Amino acid sequence: MPCLFAALLLISVSLPILTEAGPGSRSFRSRRTASTNSTIVFKNWNRTDWYRGNDFLEKWDFFDAPDPTHGLVNYQNVGNATQKKLALVQGDNVILAVDNTTTLQPGQKRDSVRISSKAKYNAGTLFIADFASMPAACGVWPAWWTVGPSWPTHGEVDLLEGVHKFGTNKMTLHTSAGCVIDRRDQMTGKVDGTNCESSNADNQGCGVLDNSTTSYGDGFNKAGGGVYAHMWTNDAIHIWHFARADIPVDITANTPDPTTWPVPVGSFGAGPDCDFSQHFQDHVLTIDTTICGDWAGNNKSMHAAGCPGTCEALLAEPSNFNLARWNISSISVYQ
């Protein structure tokens, strides 16, 4: 390992010098990565999937079983979701909404959607998700995440997640036993748990907290939304958030080059205590909005977020969910 590490260090230190020799091919907006001790190495990333506009919904499955996280939602199949306008295409963008027209009776659940890409992905992939806006309302628990066929054996990567009107994002890995993250490359986020193992009794996972007020909810939306990018290799998972005004030009130009980006907000390194090739496999991309449930349903999370009363009490009134919608500009996958 020491030899390998030294070699990687050399590569990451020498890259900016090498690429400087060929100006014009890439635009650099930051050189901060020169000091990153990570294994983010240059590669010509080719876009292999581009989800947006008209055919977006055909490439995703609609999950319509009861919410495994016990949210008070009826996840809709594709027919009902589109008919009820809870999933709709608007130009290049796709809207995923929670029902905000129906007043519920006690015991009823609210219609919502949870979709997953039909395509499965593995290590060696760069994902760039551009959201114009995301759900931000008391009672909701939205997430942009990836997950393998058998949970938690094949792992889960939560990229953008929170509850209610939280101001900041939490990124988390969930795995079966035997995955502790004891290697971090440089990152701006704060460690919130190192043991990724999830069980019924403890589903905290290993997290990283962003402290940026544009990373989640209202703050994210006020900044015009932005990009969540993540690079998944068997060596590390790095996550970046860019508010709209800070999106690197190479992303916009479809020539993403993470070696030129600032230090990631979240970094999870593989190592002897977590073999990523064993713990993360065959992931689908997932976007959902649930309501109440395991995280958002309890009084503690409600009150911490300044939301009044109980989550169940909010559920009945449709106007509480006017802002519980995703506006997805595009999701690009590069290999």
Ligand X SMILES: *[C@@H]1O[C@H](CO)[C@@H](O)[C@H](O)[C@H]1NC(C)=O
The residues of the shown chain that bind ligand X, judged by CB under 6 A, are: 37, 44, 46, 64, 74, 76-77, 80, 90, 93, 95, 100-101, 132, 183-186, 188, 211, 269, 299, 309-310, 319, 322, 327
Residue type, 158: D
The least CB distance from residue 153 to ligand X, in Å, is 27
Classified as helix, coil or strand, 115 is: strand
Shorter beta-carbon distance to ligand X: residue 102 or 153: 102
Shorter beta-carbon distance to ligand X: residue 196 or 311: 311
Classified as helix, coil or strand, 261 is: coil
Q: Quick one: tokens of 299?
A: 């009084």
| Preceding amide of 152 cis, omega within 30 | yes
The least CB distance from residue 191 to ligand X, in Å, is 11
Distance of CA 63 to the CA centre of its chain: 18
Residue nearest to ligand X (CB): 132
Catalytic choice (20, 161, 312, 317): 161
The least CB distance from residue 46 to ligand X, in Å, is 4
317 is catalytic: no
161 is catalytic: yes
Shorter beta-carbon distance to ligand X: residue 6 or 177: 6
Cβ–Cβ under 8 Å, residues 326 and 287 = yes
Shorter beta-carbon distance to ligand X: residue 29 or 244: 244
The least CB distance from residue 43 to ligand X, in Å, is 8
How far is residue 30 from each of residues 100, 164, 185, 246, measured CA to CA in Å?
Answer: 42, 33, 18, 11
Shorter beta-carbon distance to ligand X: residue 84 or 176: 84
Catalytic choice (156, 197, 312, 317): 156
Q: Quick one: tokens of 27?
A: 């635009």
Residue 328: enclosing H or E segment and its boundaries? strand 325-334
The least CB distance from residue 222 to ligand X, in Å, is 13
By CB atoms closer than 10 A (0-12, 13-18, 19+), residue 31 is exposed
List the catalytic residues.
156, 161
